[in-house]
């Protein structure tokens, strides 16, 4: 195969063409034409490497790109995805890695896409274009629709990685395995149903890996957070969809706990429920129903009680004793009675 340069009127073979590229590994014309448009600021800002094996392909799916840099001051990135000229939110994820950035974009609908990456060095709003992509998606693959929202504390941490789930929109009533890796935190928490009702779970930690398996999603959001003073600072935020599955109001405790059943906010008059809680504590646990107390049965870390709702209105609370003589209790969960 021969190619001809119309300007220089020089004909050369593919072998000669490769020798003129001055690259560690020659690329073909199709690869070259699919590469991103790079501005001069890409190099002025210290970027010196670009891995883009999927991002620029003419396909739908998840495209992953790594930007590397060689300066002491790390640029701040802004990633914009547009579909047919309209900006799309929550379709990209970018985080800092040891010597650069990792950027992933989900493309899961047919159309023409522009991915623009901007950067600045002074934390101002003056972002400069450094890379531009154009992608045409001709088919609709079965890929996850969104990434979760990553907050600044996540993006600015070189040593944190979200393992699962990576979709940003979770289905209420379904069970998920949550896993995140970080050396920075002693505790990470899951906050479920953040707006309507809150369940707070102290994630299991082994080494630098935090896990919470087989957790049913409920409420309008799921948040991975760390505690700073008395506040919970968000790292990862998931939205939810589906039928509203709410949870009893939940209070923080000095021990880890997980409510197994019942999981609804409202209990129905005349119904018998099997209450089950898993928690590693020496405290006693009891139900407070109209100022009458009913103790749970303890078997290892599992607390159970079968209980019937036989009085109209009011609330039912599950509480733990904070002293040995059971004279003082603090609420853990609060249900509402629906007649």
pLDDT by residue (tens digit) across 211-241? 999 888 887 889 999 999 888 899 999 988 8
Q: Would you state the pLDDT for residue 295?
A: 93
- 0.85 exceeded by pTM: no
The whole-angstrom separation of Cα 190 and Cα 154 is 15
Query: Which CA distances in Å does 229 have to 35, 41, 157, 232?
Result: 47, 41, 20, 8
The residues near 170 (Cβ < 8 Å, ≥ 6 apart) are 176, 217, 222, 238, 239, 240, 241
How many helices (H) and strands (E) the chain has is answered by 4, 31
Structure-block tokens of residue 62: 């998840």
Q: What is the mean predicted confidence (pLDDT) over 45-69?
A: 66
Mind listing the domains of the chain with CATH numbers? Answer: 26-137 (2.60.40.10), 149-241 (2.60.40.10), 249-338 (2.60.40.1930)
Q: What is the mean predicted confidence (pLDDT) over 300-321?
A: 89
Q: How far is CA 334 from the centre of its chain?
A: 28
Q: Would you state the pLDDT for residue 137?
A: 74
pLDDT for 12 beyond 90: no
pLDDT tens digits, one per residue of 273-282: 999 998 877 7
Determine if the peptide bond prior to 262 is cis (ω within 30°).
yes
42-51, 58-67, 207-216: least confident range: 58-67
pLDDT tens digits, one per residue of 86-135: 887 656 777 777 778 878 776 667 778 888 888 887 777 788 888 887 77
């Amino acid at each position: 195969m021969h190619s001809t340069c119309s300007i220089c009127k020089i004909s050369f073979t593919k072998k000669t063409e490769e020798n003129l590229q001055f690259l560690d590994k020659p690329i073909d014309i199709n690869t070259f034409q699919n590469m991103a448009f790079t501005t001069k600021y890409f190099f002025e800002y210290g970027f010196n490497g670009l891995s883009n094996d999927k991002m620029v392909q003419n396909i739908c799916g998840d495209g992953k790109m790594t930007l590397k840099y060689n300066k002491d001051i790390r640029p701040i990135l802004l990633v914009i995805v547009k579909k047919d000229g309209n900006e799309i939110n929550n379709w990209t994820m970018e985080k800092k890695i040891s010597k650069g950035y990792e950027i992933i974009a989900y493309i899961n609908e047919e159309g023409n896409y522009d991915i623009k990456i901007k950067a600045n060095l002074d934390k101002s709003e003056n972002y400069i274009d450094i890379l531009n992509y154009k992608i045409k998606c001709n088919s609709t693959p079965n890929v996850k629709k969104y990434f979760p929202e990553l907050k600044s504390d996540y993006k600015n941490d070189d040593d944190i990685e979200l393992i699962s789930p990576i979709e940003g929109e979770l289905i209420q009533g379904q069970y998920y395995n949550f896993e995140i890796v970080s050396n920075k935190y002693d505790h990470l928490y899951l906050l479920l149903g953040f707006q309507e009702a809150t369940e707070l779970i102290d994630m299991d930690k082994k080494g630098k890996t935090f896990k919470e398996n087989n957790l049913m999603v409920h409420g309008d959001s799921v948040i991975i957070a760390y505690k700073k003073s008395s506040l919970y600072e968000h790292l990862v935020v998931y939205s939810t969809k589906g039928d509203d599955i709410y949870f009893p109001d939940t209070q923080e405790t000095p021990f880890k706990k997980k409510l197994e059943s019942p999981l609804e906010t409202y209990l129905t008059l005349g119904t018998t429920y099997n209450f089950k809680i898993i928690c590693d504590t020496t405290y006693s646990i009891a139900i407070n129903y109209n100022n009458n107390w009913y103790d749970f049965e303890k078997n290892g870390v599992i607390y159970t009680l079968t209980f019937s709702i036989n009085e109209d209105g009011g609330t039912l609370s599950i509480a733990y004793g904070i002293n040995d003589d059971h004279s003082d209790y603090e609420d853990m969960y609060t249900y509402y009675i629906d007649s």
